[in-house]
């Protein structure tokens, strides 16, 4: 019997008082909402501030790493932190991850170069990954299953609300102060959340009710049995293939050609590491030949068809959600000469309808007893339709009212999918699988792949098209800082802005096509007797 099965059997044999009540529940819920809000506001608040950051530190081509570097480590460490919390306990792991996030938020605010900022963002993502996955885990462990839908909706609303308020806060800060405050503002609420979690999370949670004095896994943190539960090789394989893939997406074009030996070598390495990751996870899951016993990605997940559908949906919904929030403000500032706040206000239909869609989908599924699959189908259709319509927006001139309608359709579709995917996880896997965070990880992976692809498309398009309207020196200046567009002649400004707008339209066309892959995930979830949220 494996260590995982031992733990599962133990959890079934020992009555665990995992539900938190009274003032502890209310304060802990507040702290977790703070935590989820802070780590999820980072993408949207930074997205609207990228132009200001580039103007201050330089490096338009490198600026994609400010968002993508955060998402790469966020993606890779979701499952790693989840596994560490299984071994070292929820309370200590939760507080540690939030502390890492807060400390490196301060480092981001103090950065003097683009390289320093990117490095701090990478480590900030390490902390954010644990904050998110452990917050969701605590939610599912601190309340009865009957309350999963309402608490999952609350977490989804916090995430989506961060996307709504992030651009507005970013716009206000950049219009009236320095971009550094978008990071420094994390410090006070982060400190409050740490204090509340220290006070409200019982020691040994969720095994604090164990009459034998706590879960035996915590008896010796450095024992051989403990170390065997940490899938270090699997984590390294996963981190490696993601990093090589993202480097290719962000650097091929501006740094070296797609056909260059460097690009091909990194793609091959990424593929090899991915194959090594799958092979290693199979060995850990299905054999007893290796030292490590608990895989990051349990191979049985591949045999759970509804779960594979949820994972694929999570991957694909992460693409439009992140690309629109990051790239649309850049387009509005570079193409339409808008201020950060003005650009932020233009994406409100998208960001507002996302949390509304999340709340609606869970409410309809739980109260009307409508199978979630049908609501997920509606969400996917709205996403593809909204994105496809957004590609029809003119590359020049003022922003038509139709833009906001198209944003609302796509945003509502994303929200429908977000809310239901979080709620459905406990209904398709055993209790022991809740802590893995695989579904959340794939959603963030979708954001990484989507933003990497969008950045590659924009960079290649701008490089190939701007050479026809700008001199080499002017091109270099624009790539260093988009604010330099305002110093060009009127004719050059108009031509340059048109190229930027066309690159954005091409990005959205590609994203709409990728989003269509959600229908494959829906097909995997199909059953004669559809899943229901009880």
List pLDDT tens digits, range 437-459: 677 778 888 888 888 888 888 88
- Mean pLDDT, the chain, rounded, equals 82
Burial (0-12, 13-18, 19+ Cβ within 10 Å), 105: buried
* Termini Cα distance of the chain: 33
Distance between CA 126 and CA 119 in Å, rounded?
Answer: 11
Range with top average pLDDT, 2-6, 171-175, 287-291: 171-175
Q: 3-class DSSP state for residue 90?
A: helix
Q: Decide if 506 contacts 457 (C-beta within 8 A).
A: yes
Superfamily of domain 20-202+224-230+294-525: MFS general substrate transporter like domains (1.20.1250.20)
DSSP letters for 163-197 = HHHHHHHHHHHHHHS-TTHHHHTTHHHHHHHHHHH
Task: Give the contacts of 324 (CB within 8 A, at least 6 positions apart).
Answer: 347, 350, 387, 407, 410, 508, 511
Helices (H), 467-531: 472-480, 490-515, 518-525
For residue range 6-39, what is the model confidence (pLDDT) as tens digits? 333 333 433 445 578 778 888 998 999 989 999 8
Residue 534: pLDDT band by 50, 70, 90 thresholds?
Answer: low
Distance between CA 71 and CA 337 in Å, rounded?
Answer: 28
Distance between CA 495 and CA 474 in Å, rounded?
Answer: 13
For residue range 67-119, what is the model confidence (pLDDT) as tens digits? 888 888 887 787 778 778 877 888 889 999 999 999 999 999 999 988 899 99
How many CA atoms does the CB half-sphere of 397 hold within 13 Å?
6
> Tokens for 308?
């594979």
**CA 134 to centroid of chain Cα atoms:** 14
DSSP assignment letter at 63: T
For residue range 170-208, what is the model confidence (pLDDT) as tens digits? 889 988 889 999 999 999 999 999 999 999 888 877 766
């Amino acid at each position: 019997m494996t260590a995982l099965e031992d733990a599962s059997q133990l959890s079934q044999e020992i009555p665990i008082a995992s539900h938190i009540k009274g003032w502890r529940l209310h304060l802990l819920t507040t702290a977790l909402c703070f935590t989820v809000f802070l780590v999820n506001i980072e993408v949207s608040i930074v997205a609207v501030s990228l132009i200001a950051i580039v103007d201050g530190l330089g490096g338009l081509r490198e600026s994609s790493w400010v968002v993508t570097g955060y998402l790469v480590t966020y993606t890779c460490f979701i499952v790693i932190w989840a596994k560490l919390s299984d071994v070292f306990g929820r309370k200590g792991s939760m507080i540690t991850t939030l502390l890492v996030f807060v400390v490196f938020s301060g480092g981001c605010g103090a950065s003097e170069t683009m390289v320093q900022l990117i490095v701090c963002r990478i480590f900030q993502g390490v902390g954010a990954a644990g904050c998110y996955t452990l917050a969701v885990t605590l939610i599912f462990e601190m309340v009865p299953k009957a309350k999963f839908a309402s608490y999952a909706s609350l977490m989804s609303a916090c995430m989506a609300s961060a996307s709504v308020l992030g651009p507005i806060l970013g716009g206000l800060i950049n219009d009236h102060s320095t971009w550094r405050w978008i990071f420094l503002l994390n410090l006070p609420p982060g400190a409050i959340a740490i204090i509340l979690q220290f006070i409200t999370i019982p020691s040994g949670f969720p095994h604090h009710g164990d009459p034998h004095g706590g879960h035996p896994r915590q008896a010796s943190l450095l024992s051989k049995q403990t170390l065997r539960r940490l899938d270090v090789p699997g984590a390294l394989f996963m981190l490696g293939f993601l990093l090589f893939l993202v480097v290719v997406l962000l650097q091929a074009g501006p740094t070296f050609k797609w056909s260059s030996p460097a690009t091909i070598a990194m793609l091959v390495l990424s593929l090899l590491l991915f194959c090594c990751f799958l092979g290693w996870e199979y060995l850990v899951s299905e054999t007893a030949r290796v030292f490590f016993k608990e895989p990051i990605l349990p191979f049985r997940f591949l045999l759970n068809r509804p779960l594979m559908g949820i994972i694929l949906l999570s991957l694909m919904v992460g693409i439009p959600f992140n690309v629109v929030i990051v790239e649309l403000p850049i387009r509005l500032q570079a193409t339409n000469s808008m201020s950060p706040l003005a650009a932020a206000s233009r994406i409100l239909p998208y960001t507002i309808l996302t949390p509304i869609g999340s709340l609606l989908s869970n409410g309809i599924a739980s109260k009307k007893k409508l199978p979630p699959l049908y609501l997920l189908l509606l969400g996917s259709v709205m996403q593809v339709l909204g994105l496809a319509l957004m590609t029809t927006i003119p590359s020049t001139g003022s922003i038509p009212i139709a833009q906001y309608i198209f944003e609302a359709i796509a945003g509502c579709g994303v929200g429908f999918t977000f809310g239901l995917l979080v709620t459905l996880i406990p209904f398709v896997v055993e209790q022991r699988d809740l802590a893995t965070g695989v579904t959340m990880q794939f959603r963030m992976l979708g954001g990484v792949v989507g933003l990497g692809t969008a950045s590659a498309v924009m960079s290649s398009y701008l490089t190939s098209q701007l050479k026809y309207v700008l001199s080499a020196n002017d091109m270099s200046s624009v790539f260093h800082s988009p604010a330099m567009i305002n110093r060009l002649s009127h004719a050059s400004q108009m031509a340059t802005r048109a190229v930027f707008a066309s690159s954005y339209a091409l990005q959205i066309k590609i994203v709409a096509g990728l989003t269509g892959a959600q229908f494959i995930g829906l097909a995997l979830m199909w059953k004669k007797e559809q899943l229901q949220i009880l």
